[in-house]
Amino acid sequence: MSDLKSALISGDKRALARVISLVENQHPQALALLQDLAFNQAPLIGITGPPGAGKSTLINALCGFWLNQGLKVGIVAVDPSSPFNHGALMGDRLRMSEHFLHPNLFIRSMASRGNLGGLSPKIFEVCDLFRAAGFDKIIIETVGVGQSEVEIAGLADTTVLVLVPEAGDDIQAIKSGIMEIGEVYVVNKSDREGADVFYKNLVLLAHTHATQEWETPVIKTVAQKDIGIESLVQAIENHRKAPIKLAQKAQLLAARAMMMIAGLRTKDISPDDLSKEILLGLNQPNFNLYKLVAAYA
């Protein structure tokens, strides 16, 4: 395991892939390895938004910008997963193929594995592994399932909310949840009709929710043509320099710790065995799921 740790720290991609697999599969030595690593302060940039907003294309453009600066970029693309084998269904690497073979880029697709928030349950640890391997920028793309994606705010240092002009005047319908997590708003495909009106509505919304520390900037982009990417990069950098609310950060980390503690306490419970036990119970009269759960508590 020490050789694997040394290879990981040196930036070996095969070692990184192997350690990620160990973490995802809850290998007994994975936690010990994580406890023995040092992590840099590479920013975690969450990219979220509804399906069809062009998140993958925008990420591709961001990667091109940072790779041209000689930076190492890691991408964690969270896919929806099969309810039966829990594997990733989409494979975002196919949609980000332009830089796929670049030596300073590493892409990992992760299945959400039924997690209702849209993120993979092991994404926290995986992002730390990217930091341990010396990456300069770490991008997290979520599955785009809607308001439940507020979970990303507990992980990312900067959350970029990607929208398109077709959202029109329907901001009221979505702002109650996902709008509040955006620290940078992006109007992608801004060459489409209605983009200017949508942009103005977003600016007004951002100003309404502004605080003394931060007012969410609204950036117009056309990711396919690399338009607005430099402005987006600057907005992300500006947010990184903004004052951090330590109390809020502590709450987010506490939620993260709770998830990890829950995972450790349930690591000996096999979902397959649990499913078989429930199947047997369903064939009996008066099956009570709560009694079964209490037996495991």
Write the pLDDT tens digit of every residue in 34-62: 999 999 989 999 998 888 889 989 999 99
Q: Which of 221, 248, 275 is the last residue of a domain?
A: 248
Is residue 293 included in any domain, yes or no? Answer: no
Same structural domain, 210 and 71 = yes
Q: Judge whether 80 and 143 are in contact, CB under 8 Å.
A: yes
- Provide the β-strand partners of residue 16: none
If asked whether residues 143 and 199 sit together in one domain, one would say yes
Please state, in angstroms and rounded to a whole number, the distance separating the CA atoms of residues 142 and 155. Answer: 12
Look at residue 131 in the predicted model and tell me its pLDDT: 95
Residues 27 and 73 in one domain: no
Q: Which strands form 137-141's sheet, in the order they lie side by side? A: 105-111, 73-79, 137-141, 44-48, 158-163, 184-187, 218-220
Compute the distance between CA of residue 156 and CA of residue 213 in angstroms, rounded to an integer: 18
In which domain, by residue range, is 49 found? 38-248
Say what the pTM is. Answer: 0.82
SS3 state of residue 162? strand
Is residue 20 located within the same domain as residue 121?
no
What count of Cα atoms within 13 Å lies in the side-chain half-sphere of residue 135?
30
Mean pLDDT score across all residues of the chain = 83
Of 134 and 155, which is predicted with more confidence? 134
Query: In a 10 Å sphere around its CB, with 0-12 CB exposed, 13-18 middle and 19+ buried, how is residue 53 labelled?
Result: buried
> Is residue 277 assigned to a domain?
no
User: Is 287 within a domain?
Assistant: no
* Co-location of 67 and 165 in the same domain: yes
Q: What is the pLDDT of residue 253?
A: 76
Instruction: Kindly state whether residue 53 falls inside one of the protein's structural domains.
Output: yes
Residue 291 lies in a domain: no
Q: Is residue 165 domain-shared with residue 200, that is, in the same domain? A: yes
Same domain for 42 and 171, yes or no, is yes
Looking at the structure, tell me whether residues 125 and 23 fall in a common domain. Answer: no
Residue 68 predicted with pLDDT over 70:
yes
Same-domain check for residues 4 and 135: no
- Same-domain pairing of 244 and 110: yes
In a domain, residue 275? The reply is: no
At 12, which helix (H) or strand (E)? none
Query: 152: which 2 tokens?
Result: 């990303």
Q: Do residues 80 and 158 share a domain?
A: yes
**Do residue 25 and residue 42 come from a single domain?**
no
Assign residue 54 the CATH number of its domain: 3.40.50.300
**In whole angstroms, how large is the CA radius of gyration of the chain?**
21
Strands, DSSP E only, in 154-252? 158-163, 184-187, 218-220
- Judge whether 195 lies within some domain: yes
Looking at residue 87, its pLDDT comes to 44
pLDDT higher than 70, residue 119: no
Domain assignment present for 116: yes
User: Which residue type does 230 have?
Assistant: E
The domain total for the chain is 2
